[in-house]
A and B are shown apart, each in its own frame.
Chain A
Amino acid sequence: MINPILLVAIPLLAAFLSIMVKKLSGVFLFGVSLFTAIGSFFIENGSYVIGGWKPPFGINLVVDDYSFLILIIVNILFFLTLLNGMWDLKKNETVLLVTLAGVNGIVMTGDFFNLFVFMEIIAISAYILASSTEKYYSVFKYLILGTVGSSLYLFGIIILYGTAGTLNMADLASKLPEISNSVKVLAFTFIFSGLAVEAKILPFNSWVRGIFGNSNTLTGPMFSTVYATVSAAVVGRVFGQILTIDTNLIYAFITLTLMTFIFAESAAMASKNLRSILTFSSIGQAGLIITMFLLGGFYAALIQLVNNAFAKMVMFSIATKTYSSNEDDDIDNLAGIFRKHYMMGLGFTISALSLIGLPLFFGFYGKINILQTAFATNMWIPAFILIGSIIEGIYYIRLLVKLWNPGKEGDESSEEAGTSYTILNGFTVSIIALVVGAVFVVAGITPEFLVENIEKAANSLGDINTYLSSVMGGI
Chain B
Amino acid sequence: MSQYLYIILMLVGIYGLLSQKNIIKMIISLNILELGLNLFIISTGYISGSNAPIIIFENDTNFVDPLPQAIVLTAIVIGFGVTAVALMLARNIYKKNGTLEIDEIRGEDND
Chain A residues within CB distance 8 Å of chain B: 113, 117, 120, 124, 127-128, 131, 134-140, 143-144, 147-148, 151, 154-155, 158, 161-162, 167, 209-210, 213-214, 273, 275-276
Contact = CB atoms under 8 A, between A and B. Distances in A.
B71 to A, nearest CB: 6
B19 to A, nearest CB: 13
Contact of B78 (A120, A140, A162): A120
Nearest to A120: B78
A319 to B, nearest CB: 12
Nearest to A166: B67
Interface in B48-94: 67-68, 71, 74-75, 78-79, 81-82, 85-86, 89-90, 92-93
Contacts of A148: 14, 17, 30, 33
Contact size range, B: 35 or more
A209 B44 contact: no
B26 interface: yes
Contacts of A214: 108-111
Contacts, number: 82
A27 to B, nearest CB: 27
Contacts of B105: 137
Interface in B92-109: 92-93, 96-97, 102, 105, 108-109
B9 interface: no
Given A140-B93, A147-B30, A161-B44, A127 B85 contact: yes
Contacts of B26: 144
Closest 3 CB pairs of A and B: A213-B110, A162-B44, A136-B92
B89 A131 contact: yes
B41 interface: yes
A144 B102 CA distance: 13
A200 to B, nearest CB: 16
A140 B90 contact: yes
Given A137-B108, A140-B86, A154-B75, 14 more contacts: A120-B81, A134-B96, A135-B108, A136-B89, A138-B109, A139-B89, A140-B23, A140-B90, A148-B14, A155-B10, A158-B71, A167-B67, A210-B109, A214-B108
B18 to A, nearest CB: 10
Contact of A136 (B33, B40, B44, B96): B96
Contacts of B110: 209, 213-214, 273, 275-276
A124 B85 contact: yes
Interface string B25-40: 0100010011001001
Given A137-B93, A144-B26, A213-B110, A128 B85 contact: yes
A351 B36 CA distance: 47
B63 to A, nearest CB: 15
A313 to B, nearest CB: 21
Contacts of A209: 109-110
Contacts of B30: 144, 147-148
A135 B30 CA distance: 21
Contacts of B74: 113, 117
Contacts of B40: 155, 158
Nearest to A212: B110
A99 to B, nearest CB: 15
A135 B81 CA distance: 20
Nearest to A147: B82
Contact of B34 (A135, A151, A167, A213): A151
A137 B26 CA distance: 13
Nearest to B90: A140
Nearest to A271: B110
Contacts of A144: 17, 26, 30, 86
A124 B110 CA distance: 23
Instruction: Output the residue of A117, A134, A162 with the most chain B CB within 10 A.
Output: A162
A209 B68 CA distance: 37
